[in-house]
């Protein structure tokens, strides 16, 4: 089987990641991260209609109440999820009357007021979970392998998180609790893939011989490449199907997983391993000869 020179093209992988991270940062800076109703508070309406109605029609009705900037999601053919600023009871009745005139309401699935307090609690919990996860990962990999592997793995994880959040900002999707849950989930997946690669590198280090450390890491990546591709494909296929057919409720979770799995597979091979190999060659024992 033909070997791929991963380390010989390491600068290419770094440039690709730098471009992706820059694009993600620009998307977050200029398009911004849109907090969902769970984080900023508001009113959530789930309405099913008897007659045909489009998202543009729904927005026209909302415009009459100065709510044209509300988030409108089509759940089914004639069902819409509307997220708006908080509405009092009188305004809710007026809006429902307008929709009844426009397209006949078949069913009011629910109308729910959401306060920002719950979202703040979720945000604090998510940030705490992220910090605790990264700290635990650093300690575990340092004890099990070594600290250079630990920091290389965490750098790859941050790479995955930034790109995933950037894609979310670029698509204009709202940040929801499902998105946060998905973000924490991909940390575990990305780390699993990286650990598999590092374990093979550790095994091959014992039989390094006269090879350069970068070359040994490249050989290790070739040995686990097929496994990484197969694992990623079998993982992403059901998640992608969930994204297509899982409905609006699960779409946020599935989108984060799809982007995160792709970024995680890439970073475990093209970011974590080259970073570690370059850092390792700074040690006199593994420094390349000047011949």
Q: What is the CA radius of gyration of the chain?
A: 24
* Cβ atoms of 159 and 267 closer than 8 Å: yes
Element of type H or E holding 239:
helix 213-245
* Cβ atoms of 193 and 228 closer than 8 Å: yes
pLDDT in tens, 154-181: 999 999 999 999 998 898 887 877 788 8
* Cβ atoms of 79 and 48 closer than 8 Å: yes
Task: Give residue 1's pLDDT.
Answer: 58
pLDDT bracket for residue 278 (50, 70, 90): very high
Task: Give residue 81's pLDDT.
Answer: 85
Task: Give residue 275's pLDDT.
Answer: 95
pLDDT bracket for residue 282 (50, 70, 90): very high
**CA–CA separation, 50 and 268 (whole Å):** 50
**CA–CA separation, 236 and 167 (whole Å):** 17
Percent of residues, the chain, with pLDDT higher than 70: 96
Report the 10 Å Cβ neighbour count for 105.
Answer: 16
Report the 10 Å Cβ neighbour count for 258.
Answer: 20
Element of type H or E holding 18:
helix 10-26
Q: Token digits for 251? A: 């779409």
pTM: 0.77
Task: Give residue 39's pLDDT.
Answer: 74
pLDDT above 60 (res 291): no
């Amino acid at each position: 089987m033909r070997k791929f020179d991963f380390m010989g093209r390491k600068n290419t992988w770094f440039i690709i990641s730098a471009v992706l991270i820059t694009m993600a940062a620009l998307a977050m800076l200029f398009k911004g991260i849109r907090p969902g109703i769970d984080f900023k508070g508001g009113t959530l309406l789930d309405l099913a209609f008897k007659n045909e109605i489009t998202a543009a029609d729904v927005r026209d009705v909302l415009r009459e109440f100065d709510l044209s900037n509300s988030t409108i999601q089509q759940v089914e053919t004639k069902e819409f999820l509307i997220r708006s600023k908080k509405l009092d009871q009188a305004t809710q009745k007026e809006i429902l009357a307008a929709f009844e005139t426009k397209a006949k309401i078949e069913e009011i699935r629910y109308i729910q007021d959401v306060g920002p307090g719950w979202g703040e609690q979720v945000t604090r919990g998510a940030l705490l979970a992220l910090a605790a996860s990264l700290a635990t990962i650093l300690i575990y990999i340092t004890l099990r392998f070594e600290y250079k592997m630990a920091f290389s793995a965490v750098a790859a994880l941050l790479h995955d998180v930034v790109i995933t959040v950037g894609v979310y900002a670029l698509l204009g999707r709202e940040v929801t609790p499902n998105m946060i849950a998905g973000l924490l989930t991909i940390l575990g997946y990305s780390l699993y893939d990286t650990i598999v690669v590092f374990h093979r590198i550790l095994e091959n280090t014992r039989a390094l011989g006269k090879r350069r450390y970068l070359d040994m890491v490249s050989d290790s990546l070739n040995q686990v490449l097929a496994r990484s591709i197969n694992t990623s494909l079998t993982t992403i296929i059901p998640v992608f199907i969930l994204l297509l057919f899982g409905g609006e409720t699960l779409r946020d979770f599935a989108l984060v997983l799809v982007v995160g799995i792709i970024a995680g597979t890439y970073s475990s091979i093209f970011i974590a391993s080259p970073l570690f190999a370059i850092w390792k060659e700074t040690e006199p024992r593994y420094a390349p000869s000047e011949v």
